[in-house]
Structure formats: structure tokens, C-alpha cells
Amino acid sequence: NAGVTQTPKFRVLKTGQSMTLLCAQDMNHEYMYWYRQDPGMGLRLIHYSVGEGTTAKGEVPDGYNVSRLKKQNFLLGLESAAPSQTSVYFCASSLGAVGANVLTFGAGSRLTVL
């Protein structure tokens, strides 16, 4: 099992450029999440999805958009990248609500915005 796969692993953007991070899971999980991790800040939730076709905002959603057109994929988009979005992005998935389930994480995508 591949688990949770994130692409790309590394990306350098210029301010104002756009890009999409792809997250794919092969565990038939209902819930998917995008977090960002910055030094000294821990992980902060950007957006999440509780099922195909659904999305919801997390703690730091501004500047990001997401889509969950297929159950196995969760896309994170940056429409106009800013240096403040330089971070490591982690996708995670869970079988169901986290009240009873755990998260499986991808390996991360390191994004630098110049």
C-alpha cells in the first residue's frame, strides 16, 4: 500500500505564481486534510474534507483553495503565491471522524515562494 502520496515533493515559486499540490490516498479514507508546518508553529490546518465533493475551512485557509472531486484525491491550490506561504505542506487522511480514528500522513511537500 502506498498510503498517502503527495506531489510534488519540492517546488520553488515566484510571488504571484499559482500552483496545485496533489494528495492521493489508496486506503478508501473518507476524511482528508491539508496542514502546513512552519518552524516553531507546529501544524496548522488549512482545509479539510469529510467526503467526496465536500470541503471546509480550517484554521488558516486564506490564500488557499481546495477540491475533492474524487474520494481518493484532495487538491490544494495557491492562486497567487506569497512569501508567507513558504512552508512544508502535509496531507493526511483518516477512515472517519478523528473522534475515533487516526491520521495517516504523506511525506510532505516543501514549497518556497521567492
Partner 1 sequence: SQQGEEDPQALSIQEGENATMNCSYKTSINNLQWYRQNSGRGLVHLILIRSNEREKHSGRLRVTLDTSKKSSSLLITASRAADTASYFCATDGTGGYSTLTFGKGTMLLVSP
- Interface with partner 1 (CB under 8 A): 4, 31, 33, 35, 40-45, 48, 50, 56, 58-59, 90, 92, 97-100, 102-108
Burial annotation 42-75 (CB, 10 A radius, 16+ → b, else e): eeebbbbbbeeeebeebebbeebebebeeebbbb
To partner 1, the closest distance from the beta carbon of 35 in angstroms equals: 8
Give min distance, CB of 91 to partner 1, in A.
9
User: How is residue 100 written as a grid cell?
Assistant: 475515533
Contact between 35 and 44 (Cβ < 8 Å): yes
Q: Which residue lies nearer to partner 1 by CB, 37 or 73? A: 37
| Minimum CB distance to partner 1 smaller for 12 or for 41 | 41
What's the closest the beta carbon of residue 13 comes to partner 1, in angstroms? 20
